[in-house]
Every structure is written in structure tokens, then in C-alpha cells.
């Protein structure tokens, strides 16, 4: 059985922070023409020669200024 290589072109990240016994989710209100004024997760494109996890860290820093995060994967993404 051969494997089919799949190349992702973008990342979507959700930042969670535990405060006491609850988890809070960070959403950003978009200011660009696409999805203007919509509350969204952090995301963006994967640049050439960049891995998905590197793109996730870069997008988090670019969009929020947050640098210290621990990454986990959901291992699944569904698009309708």
C-alpha cells in the first residue's frame, strides 16, 4: 500500500487558557475585507518551506503577540 502525500496550505489554531476551573477561548474580530467584523480563530497560510506547526506559531505571534504556547493537534479537521 502506498501513501498519498497531502500538503496542507493553511493552519487554524485555537488558543485556550485555563482560569480556575474553566477554559477560555481567544477569538479575534476580523478587520480585513474577508470576514469583516466576524469573530474567528487564529489562522493563515503556510509559507514555502514552513511546516504546519511553524506556521501556527508564526500566525499566533503575528495576530496576537503571544509567543509562549504549547501546541496540540486535534488530528482531525472537517470542512463542510
* Total Cβ atoms within 10 A of residue 56: 21
> What does the pLDDT look like over 29-43, one tens digit per residue?
998 888 899 999 999
User: Does an H or E element contain 19, and which?
Assistant: strand 15-19
pLDDT at residue 76, as a whole number: 62
pLDDT along the chain (80 residues), means of 10: 75 94 94 90 93 95 95 70
Domain definitions of the chain by residue range: 10-64
Q: Write down the pTM of the prediction.
A: 0.78
User: Does an H or E element contain 59, and which?
Assistant: helix 52-64
On whether the CB atoms of residues 28 and 15 are closer than 8 A, the answer is no
Amino acid at each position: 500500500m502506498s501513501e498519498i502525500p497531502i500538503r496542507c496550505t493553511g493552519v487554524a489554531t485555537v488558543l485556550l487558557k485555563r482560569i480556575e476551573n474553566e477554559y477560555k477561548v481567544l477569538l479575534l474580530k476580523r478587520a480585513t475585507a474577508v470576514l469583516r467584523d466576524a469573530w474567528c480563530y487564529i489562522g493563515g497560510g503556510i509559507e514555502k518551506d514552513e511546516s504546519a506547526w511553524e506556521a501556527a506559531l508564526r500566525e499566533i505571534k503575528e495576530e496576537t503577540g503571544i509567543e509562549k504556547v504549547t501546541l496540540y493537534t486535534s488530528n482531525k479537521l472537517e470542512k463542510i
